[in-house]
Amino acid sequence: MLRRLRSTLAALLRRTRFEHDMADEIRFHLEARTSDLIAAGVDPKEAARRARIEFGSMERYREACRDARGIRPIDDLRADIAYAVRVLRRAPGFAVVATLSLALGIGANALVFSVVNALVLRPLPIEHPEQVFTVQSDGDIASQSYPNYRDLRDRNQTLAGLAAYRISPVSLEQGATAVREWGYLATGNYFDVLGIEPVVGRFFHQADDLAPGVSPYIVLSYDQWQARFGGSRDVAGTSVRVNGRPYTIIGVAPPGFRGTELFYQPAFWIPMMMQPLVEPGNPWLDRRQTFNLILVGRLKRGVSASQAETDLNTIAAQLTRDYPTINAGMRLRLTQPGLFGDMFGGPVRAFAIAVLALAGLVLLTACANLAGLLAARASDRRREVAIRMAIGAGRGRVLRQMLTESMVLATAGGIAGAVLAALGARGLTAWHAPVDLPIQFDIIVDGRVLLFSFVVTMAAGALFGLLPALHASRSDPQSSLKGEGSTRFARRRWPVRDVLVAVQVALCFVLVAGCVLAVLGLQRSVTTPLGFEPDDAAIASVDLGLAGYDQARAAAFRRRAVAMLSGVPGVKTAAFANSVPLSIDQSTTTVYPDVPSGNPRADRRSVIYYQVSPRFFDAIGTRLLEGRGFDWNEDPHVPGRAVVNQTFAKQILRGAPSIGSHFRYAASGPPIEVIGIVEDARYRSLTESPQPVVFIPMLQSPNLTTVFVVRSARPARQMAAEMRRVLATLDPSLPVYDAESLHDMLGLALFPMRAAAVALSLFGLLAIALATSGLHGLVSYAVARRTHEIGIRIAIGAGARDVLAAVLTRTAWLLGIGAVLGAGTALLSGRLLATIVSDVSPHDPVVLMATAALLVLVGFVSCWAPARRALRVSPVTALRTE
Amino acid sequence: MFRPSTDTDLKRSSATVLVLALVAESPRHGYEIGKLIESRSGGAITFNMASLYPLLYRIERRGWISGDWRERAGERRRRFYRITPEGRKVLAAQRGLWRGFVRALDQVVRFEEH
């Protein structure tokens, strides 16, 4: 088989030589035969003639030889393609419209697929990525504490290595100023577990990461090396100041390696043991209850993922026994790395697949559209097909020719689509998410994407070409040539192309419904009460720890900053916190009820916490429902007070009279008194269910990461700039980041919704464009074919209404049927749409009505021109054309 | 009279073994192969030359024979076909097959009795 393929290929590649050899062989044969005949006494001239006659038809011989070499089908194909190109050149308008709609359909699919490829299919650029897994706790958070990590690393039997890392910012000094850069804190074995080699210098290893604070080493990412050091190879061994202290640059990571997250572009890696200095004021290497590391492990050779899971869970069970309050219910599983394990992986995959399905629908619409156009053309080309069949082309041959035409169109569309996808991928890669984190995707059109586009192109070509081609090849040459074919065709109740238009309208309905849903969802999420008031509020963040402040200096800085900010004209309230709701930085802590229920696992609850200053609730615009907030006179030495939200009161205080009741941070810790209750808000995402939240006074439990919040009468963006200025006057060397209006910050929370709305709106617009052109084509075609009939109708007295009825009734029916089918499909595919758009259901009558109204508009627009043409038919000209 | 040269089915099925047997003896060009088949069968088996060459190409494509051009000064170049090791195996198998077939046929129709 392989040999034959090779021989065919060789013959094709050396086509001229093959033909030349073949001719030589005949010539030799004829000469040998002639000389034999001459030797037998035949006259030379006669001998040559006889040799030729004996040999037979030269052309037949050549065909047979080509056939034997396996290149004839390819010759036929070439001829078919040449013919198809000629035919299409004769209908340039059709060719352009067809190519364009296919390019958009295939391009959309290729682009969405390249996103899926980048986020789901493409393995990490590490050695044997199939052996590497994230070790993730059950539940939605993929994190472990350092002491737990150490135990899992040292006690397991099944992993060749288990590393831990954490995404962390530092203040990196550049000249006189400091820049906040994001990178990784990673355990010493990190690079060895992943199997990465540096391009410059060396990486750190286990031996470099043994004791806290003794290994001030930094590994730069390739991009950072290029940007900051111009790619100089002398960089290894030099020093850079991180959070005000000198670190030695020991190496540079290879290009393309961005750690184990697919969406994150780190600037550096620092050994985990430097944590107390990288995150000053918050040492957690010894705190078993601080779950903030992601674990990534490589399986030992010959060990399966499930064996490793069993092994790790045996250790998890020991850890639960040893530390029941901290590790209650710990279950571990191995997940694909890249998106914080399954934490983002699940939703991202679901979203990507749903969008891919919608892109598929767009392509289907384009195919239905083209199939309709081709069917119309096919019925016009019956005569041509009949002639070809009459002169001996078989049905298969005609079918192949028609299919070749659609494949030529599909290929043109596919190439244009791949170019569009490549441009789109470049745009997406260059795009930076509107957040402080360096979020960036690496989306490229690689071999897999091209293969996908090729398969999609061929499938599309077959899909839109097959039906019309079958139809045409089934025609009866006799009746077609006599001119009967077309009338018989017209008499069929529901010609193929009508069915196709209905299908197209139905697909369009589904896509437009999705688009309407997304826009409504976005609108609703913007208008839903957030539980705080983003209007007129501005924020600015500083990391005092990175700048080398200790707690006392930090407290003094914050007091001065609030005092100065309060004095800025127009400011109503100034406050601060460790973080604000719906920002990317959300922290959790565990709480227990005041009186244990006897079941530690049920008592232990993870809640979001904020460390807040007095008047924080005023500044952010959250209503205090009961009790009071904190004040500046809070005694830092009398801990044990908290404000909680409604859900906390309901779930953890369990309906006890809220103000004055208690809870604890550790099962045996001191009781904490609730002094106030605030309204619920959205904290992590706009679509989350109500979350229990506790607010702790920052004066009592300091945190060096500080977000200042100011509510003022001035425009929030202007205020944010003013805040940056004020903070800089207090300490010019302190990097201020995320200075923006609270509204701008919400861009992050709104981002998934916005992405969905943009994607769906694009698909919806595409579908509308396709449906409009499809309907327009159908009605124009009907009017053109029926010009004669319309002429007669007008001649015998038909009015405008009758003419329009004759032309448009069928279209109206098709629209109606398509819309009903589409509405049904939209209702059935509600779950698919719900993965993309939350809060809005496709069962919503508003959605269905809006979609239907839009389709009526589409119908009107697409029929307008042909209907006018029908009305302008002059009976005299129409009858004369006959 | 029975004329196998007109019996295309019989010819088609035996063509491969005929060609393989001839090129197994020594490398030969197409014209020589055609001529040898005719002369050795006493004129009973003849091939239309126009179908002999496609047959050679087909067998070559299967890898049972291979053709090489030989050039001599002052003469037209010619293509010689030689048998490949794989072709030898096929030939041995086909020889066995035909021998058995002819013997079995003889058991039934008794060639010599009439």
Dihedral pair phi/psi, residue A712, rounded to 5° = -145, 175
Q: Helices (H), strands (E): how many in chain A?
A: 31, 21
Between chains, do A24 and B76 touch, taking CB under 8 Å as contact?
Answer: yes
A305/A779: higher pLDDT: A305
Residue A452, pLDDT > 90, answer: no
pLDDT in tens, A322-331: 887 777 778 8
Can you tell me the distance from the alpha carbon of A832 to that of A839, in angstroms, rounded to the nearest whole number? Answer: 13
pLDDT at residue A469 greater than cutoff 60: yes
Residue A121 DSSP code: I
> pLDDT digits over A179-221, tens only?
778 888 888 888 888 888 888 888 888 888 887 778 888 898 8
Tell me the mean pLDDT in the region A661-667.
83
Question: How much is the average pLDDT of A556-572?
Answer: 91
pLDDT score at A707: 92
- Specify the range with the lowest mean pLDDT, choosing from A42-51, A251-260, A567-576, A802-811: A802-811
CA distance B48 to B30: 12
Chain A contacts of B29, Cβ < 8 Å? Answer: 28, 32
Q: What is the pLDDT of residue A560?
A: 92
DSSP line for A748-784: HHHHHHHHHHHHHHHHHHHHHHHHHHHHHHHHHHHHH
CB-based contact A385:A480 (threshold 8 Å) = yes
Q: Which of A77-91, A488-502, A800-814 shows the lowest per-residue confidence on average (mean pLDDT)? A: A488-502
- Least Cα distance to A104 among A401, A383, A363, A457 occurs for A363
Q: Shortest Cα distance from B100 to chain A (angstroms)?
A: 29
pLDDT at A434: 60
Q: Indicate whether A402 pLDDT > 90.
A: no
- Is any Cβ of chain B less than 8 angstroms from the Cβ of A67? yes
Q: Are A67 and B59 in contact (CB under 8 A)?
A: no
pLDDT in tens, A728-754: 888 877 878 778 888 878 876 777 677
pLDDT above 50 for B1: no
For A3-19, what is the mean pLDDT? 73
List the end-to-end C-alpha distance of chain B, in Å, as a whole number.
14
ipTM of model: 0.89
pLDDT digits (tens, 9 = 90+) for B36-87: 998 898 888 887 777 788 889 889 988 899 988 888 888 888 899 999 999 9
Q: What angle do CA A716, A717, A719 make, to 5 degrees?
A: 60
Q: Are the C-beta atoms of residues A608 and A619 closer than 8 Å to each other? A: no
| Average pLDDT value for chain A | 80
Q: Is the pLDDT of residue A110 over 70?
A: yes
- In chain A, the N- to C-terminal Cα span, in Å, equals 58
CA A54/CA A47 separation, integer angstroms: 11
DSSP state of A71: -
Q: What's this model's pTM, rounded to 2 decimal places? A: 0.66
Which pLDDT tens digit goes with each residue over A582-621? 887 788 888 888 887 777 677 788 888 999 998 999 999 9
Q: Does residue A650 contact residue A604 with C-beta atoms inside 8 Å? A: no
Q: Which pLDDT belongs to residue B5?
A: 45
Q: Do A61 and B62 touch (CB under 8 A)?
A: no
A381-395, A755-769, A824-838, B40-54: which has the minimum mean pLDDT? A824-838
Instruction: Provide, as residue numbers in chain A, all residues whose Cβ is less than 8 Å from the Cβ of B90.
Output: none
Q: Residue A54 is nearest to which of B49, B76, B78, comparing CB atoms?
A: B49
Query: Which of A694, A690, A669, A670 shows the shortest CA–CA distance to A681?
Result: A690
Q: What is the pLDDT of residue A62?
A: 80
Write out pLDDT tens, residues A480-517.
666 544 444 444 555 666 777 788 788 888 878 877 77
Confidence (pLDDT) at A362: 79
Interface residues of B toward A, Cβ cutoff 8 Å, are 29-31, 35, 48-51, 53-55, 57-58, 60-63, 69, 76-79
Tell me, what's the pLDDT at A830?
Answer: 64
| Chain B CB contacts of A3 below 8 Å | 61-63
Contacts of A61 in chain B (CB under 8 A): 50, 53-54
Chosen from B36, B49, B55, B79 to mutate, greatest number of chain A CBs within 10 A: B49
**Residue A24: in which H helix or E strand, if any?**
helix A15-39
Residue B95 reports pLDDT greater than 90: yes
**Residue B34: pLDDT above 80?**
yes
CA distance A599 to A596: 7
State residue A693's pLDDT score: 93
Average pLDDT over residues A352-379: 77
Is B21 a residue whose pLDDT tops 90? yes
A581 touches A682 (CB < 8 A): yes
Average pLDDT rounded to a whole number, residues A315-342 = 79
Which residues in chain A touch residue B30, judged by CB atoms under 8 angstroms apart? 25, 29
Separation in Å, CA of B2 to nearest CA in chain A? 23
The mean pLDDT of A68-95, rounded to a whole number, is 80
Which of A146-155, A629-638, A797-806, B19-28 is the least confident region? A629-638
Q: pLDDT grade, residue A694 (50/70/90)? A: very high
Would you call A57 an interface residue with chain B, using a CB distance cutoff of 8 Å? yes
In this prediction, residues A814-842 reach a mean pLDDT of: 71
Average pLDDT for A706-721: 89
Highest mean pLDDT among A64-73, A112-121, A474-483, B37-46: B37-46
Q: What is the pLDDT of residue A819?
A: 83
A536: alpha, beta or left? (left if phi > 0; alpha if psi -120 to 50): left
A32 inside 8 A of chain B by CB: yes
